[in-house]
Structure 1
Amino acid sequence: MKVNSFLPKYMVDFKCINSKCIDTCCAGWDINIDDATYNKYVNSDGDLKKLVSGKFVKNNEEDNSFNCGFMILKEESRCPFLNSNMLCDIHGETGEENLCITCKSYPRVFNIVDDVYEKSGLPSCIEICTRALLNRDKMEFVESEEDIEEGNIEIRRIIDSEAFDGTESLVQYFWDIRVISINIMQLRNYSIEERLNILLSFYSKLEKLNILKEFENIDETIEEFNNGLVNFGSLKGESFKEKSDFYKSLCDSKLVDNIRSIRLKVCVDEYKAGILKAVDIIKYIEEDPKYLNQLEQYSYIFENYLVNQIFKDLVPFNKGENLIGSIKKVINTYRIIKAYVIGIAINNDEDIKEENIITVIQALSKDIEHNKVFKELL
């Protein structure tokens, strides 16, 4: 069906690069099977039945139409249909129509906001990282009209901001808050951490006013931020100061033992070697801030990553109306990425490059999206 869509420019002509990809989306995590596909596999015959037999299982823990079953993964959490050419046997031998929704739609994320279909990309896909994050220009968004088969996609979240007009819910301000959030993250005269502090301050003020039911002041606050009447310099705060326990927690055995992604395991091993090499990681970074300075050179990567997260996850409404909880998760994700990049650079005794940051973001995103241990850490 034809729908109105809203998407970042990098998604306009995005295509999977298949076997050219340096990673695979068919390994490193559980692969959910939706109920329609599960029933198709159960009732299949001929070539499809022969292909899928014994390679999927019922999900008895959830009653969810998108998580009816799972692929039975092989070694290194590889999909049983991933062949030696890094291509899918289901797609190649029986056709795309026999793929589950997860495989048809990945790495695309769909939300519906005020009856408009929004499409963005998951940074666990290296091609999304390359297209979305390495662009030195500010991320832009476009409106379009697309043919979308609802049966082939999973809608993650639905927001109807107009339904909350005149209520006590902050959702009625969804568009103002989203636009202000993205504008703040694209304030290039401030560092990434200063922008995150400004955004945290904005959300804190809104949440406090909402609790106090001072709705007129909410309107005034939004108008001030919208019209550039805010002294951002007074809100920028200080750079993040980490403690030794933070760096140690990122290579804790409980965390490492539960990592699914092979690429992330390599990253964390290198990171751990790096902070051990530094001996006192806090003192090391303070005495030689070269890696912090190098990260600033690539602030456009972090900016694009964070803007994409805000858009994709409908921040700050991805945790109900817990605005502080939402932005703290964003901040903590950034802190983890930054720490891993620095630790790996120390271990390799090399300058930080674009590809180092992208490698960490892609590998970490893969586990963050599907790993309970990382969700607890965040």
Structure 2
Amino acid sequence: MANKTRKVLQPQYMKKFHCIGADCEETCCGGWRIVIDKNTFQKYRECPDKDLRKQLKQHVTRIRTDADDTNYAKIKLNPDDGSCPLLDGDKLCSLQRKFGEEFLSLTCTAYPRLTNIVNGVSEKALTVSCPEAARIVLLNPEVMSFDETEEDASVRNTNGKIMETDDFKLAHTGLRYFWELRIFVISLLQNRAYKLWQRMVILGLFCRNLDQLISEGKVPAIPKLIGTYLDHLDSGVFRDELNTIPNEFTIQMKLMKEVADQRIFSGGVNLRYYECFAEFLEGIQYISESKVEDIGKNYVEAYEKYYRPFMETREYIMENYLVNDVFSNLFPFKGGKQVFDNYVMFVVNYSMIKLLLIGMAGLHKEKFNTDHVIKLIQSFAKVISHDENFLKGVIELLKENNFNTMPYMAILLKS
């Protein structure tokens, strides 16, 4: 009898990934929140090994807020170094060593693979919080493309979200046009006739209009909105409006430094990210005694002399980052209830990465290279992108200061 299979949609890069084990510069087993699915939690409560069962009861606790079957419990990490308490003396997983991979949670089994289920199809991607995954995802200069394939239905890897856009209950919501919107967003972000910051601004204008249609109950007008934007992209209508956006590097630097500070001083910072942040500060000579004007001047100099010349021929790195994020996080519908809120978070992540890389480029100067970029994006993803509480706090910070507007997003993006 043939094994049952299921459909899979994934970027072509998935074929290239394999864990490099001890050669990796990071560890998967620490430095962030490790969640446990419900089935694994129940399995741990019945662990046949008495000593391990005692450890599991001590270190694995229920999640009491916003829990679901995937995010049902969490592992309490060692307070001294943030490592998983279930690692043995050889820094290997004691559970896997004793019982095999089948005893691991979905998160630990699948990482760095992320799988969402959309209309019954498994959608697989890699998260760039893994160094090797980051290299594979980001460093391909070709436009990211996707494959339809199949896998054995017994594979345990559903560690993301489940979305049914064909549900008749969603007929009057934006999710009705999820696929049309996804295709438009990805094609826009890969439209190399425009600079990447311009694509991001156009996306913001689109998300603002999309939110308006949804709030006014005009969901059937979404395909027409998409068509209008496609026509305008082809005709170049947006270019005049894009040229009116001012360069405000000092404002970019001040806001994003404040956002980054929130995470740096909230505890539990990954060492690799801390090293990158320190390099950013040194690169723009950011010290407490410095005047804002002087820091802004250093920031602009680092951008003009080192970051821009490097990135002009490597804009595909950030393009790949954004497209991968759109696909794996079901943009624009994952996160806040408002599409524009999700766009704001999208911009903040991009802008923080750019800010930090500019400072790092200012430090390393002509020696600034893709190794620095991968280190920053990987550690940023591990520290920032996997921290839902921090991301919610950023949105609140922006709203409190009235920064969550399209004009302000455009200033953050302009470069």
Scaled by the length of structure 1, the TM-score of the pair is 0.89
Do 1:193 and 1:240's aligned partners in 2 also have CA atoms closer than 8 Å?
no
SS of match in other structure, 2:30: coil
- Trace 1:336-351 onto structure 2 (pairs within 5 A): 336-351=352-367
Do 1:33 and 1:100's aligned partners in 2 also have CA atoms closer than 8 Å?
yes
Residue 13 of structure 1: how far off its partner (Å): 4.3
Alignment-derived partner of residue 376 in structure 1? 393
Q: Distance in 1 between matches of 2:263 and 2:378?
A: 21
Comparing 130-139 with 188-197, greater Cα deviation is found at 188-197
Residue 149 of structure 1: how far off its partner (Å): 3.3
SS of match in other structure, 1:81: coil
Q: Distance in 1 between matches of 2:225 and 2:255?
A: 34
Do 2:63 and 2:71's aligned partners in 1 also have CA atoms closer than 8 Å?
no
Which of residues 8, 16, 25 in structure 1 aligns to 2:11? 8
What is the CA deviation profile of residues 216-275 of structure 1, one whole-angstrom value per residue up to 9, with x for unaligned ones? Answer: 643322223456655342454547634142243155366334243221122222222333
Which of residues 241, 250, 268 in structure 1 aligns to 2:248? 241
Residue 42 of structure 1: how far off its partner (Å): 2.6
Q: Distance in 1 between matches of 2:81 and 2:268?
A: 11
Q: Distance in 2 between matches of 1:92 and 1:83?
A: 9
Do 1:138 and 1:186's aligned partners in 2 also have CA atoms closer than 8 Å?
yes
Comparing 261-270 with 251-260, greater Cα deviation is found at 251-260
Residue 5 of structure 1: how far off its partner (Å): 0.9
Alignment-derived partner of residue 296 in structure 2? 282
Scaled by the length of structure 2, the TM-score of the pair is 0.81
Alignment-derived partner of residue 129 in structure 1? 134
Q: Distance in 1 between matches of 2:343 and 2:329?
A: 11
Do 1:273 and 1:347's aligned partners in 2 also have CA atoms closer than 8 Å?
yes
- Trace 1:92-171 onto structure 2 (pairs within 5 A): 92-149=97-154, 152-164=156-168, 167-171=171-175
Do 1:258 and 1:373's aligned partners in 2 also have CA atoms closer than 8 Å?
no
Task: Calculate the aligned-residue CA RMSD, in Å.
Answer: 2.7
Q: Distance in 2 between matches of 1:271 and 1:78?
A: 26
- Trace 1:348-367 onto structure 2 (pairs within 5 A): 348-367=364-383
- Trace 1:180-329 onto structure 2 (pairs within 5 A): 180-214=184-218, 217-226=221-230, 229=234, 231-234=237-240, 236=242, 238=245, 241-242=248-249, 243=251, 244-252=253-261, 255-277=264-286, 279=290, 280-287=294-301, 289-290=304-305, 291-319=307-335, 322-329=338-345
What is the CA deviation profile of residues 328-348 of structure 1, one whole-angstrom value per residue up to 9, with x for unaligned ones? Answer: 111110100011111122234
Q: Distance in 2 between matches of 1:99 and 1:147?
A: 19
Do 2:76 and 2:84's aligned partners in 1 also have CA atoms closer than 8 Å?
yes
What is the CA deviation profile of residues 104-143 of structure 1, one whole-angstrom value per residue up to 9, with x for unaligned ones? Answer: 1111111122221111111111111111110010100000
Do 2:213 and 2:222's aligned partners in 1 also have CA atoms closer than 8 Å?
yes
Residue 80 of structure 1: how far off its partner (Å): 2.1
Alignment-derived partner of residue 50 in structure 1? 51
Residues 183 and 164 (structure 1 numbering): CA distance in 2 closer, same or farther, change over 3 Å? farther
Do 1:251 and 1:272's aligned partners in 2 also have CA atoms closer than 8 Å?
no
Residues 287 and 133 (structure 1 numbering): CA distance in 2 closer, same or farther, change over 3 Å? closer
Do 1:111 and 1:117's aligned partners in 2 also have CA atoms closer than 8 Å?
yes
SS of match in other structure, 1:276: coil
Residue 88 of structure 1: how far off its partner (Å): 2.5
Comparing 158-167 with 241-250, greater Cα deviation is found at 158-167
Q: Distance in 2 between matches of 1:354 and 1:370?
A: 23
Residue 191 of structure 1: how far off its partner (Å): 1.6
Which structure 1 segments of 5+ residues have no match?
none
Residue 42 of structure 1 aligns to which amino acid in structure 2?
R
Residue 255 of structure 1 aligns to which amino acid in structure 2?
I
Do 1:298 and 1:354's aligned partners in 2 also have CA atoms closer than 8 Å?
no
What is the CA deviation profile of residues 163-187 of structure 1, one whole-angstrom value per residue up to 9, with x for unaligned ones? Answer: 3599332212111111110111111
Residue 302 of structure 1 aligns to which amino acid in structure 2?
M
Q: Distance in 2 between matches of 1:249 and 1:166?
A: 39
Residue 214 of structure 1: how far off its partner (Å): 4.2
Residue 54 of structure 1 aligns to which amino acid in structure 2?
Q
Residues 369 and 6 (structure 1 numbering): CA distance in 2 closer, same or farther, change over 3 Å? same
Do 1:198 and 1:235's aligned partners in 2 also have CA atoms closer than 8 Å?
no
SS of match in other structure, 1:252: helix
Residues 239 and 24 (structure 1 numbering): CA distance in 2 closer, same or farther, change over 3 Å? farther
Which structure 2 segments of 5+ residues have no match?
396-415
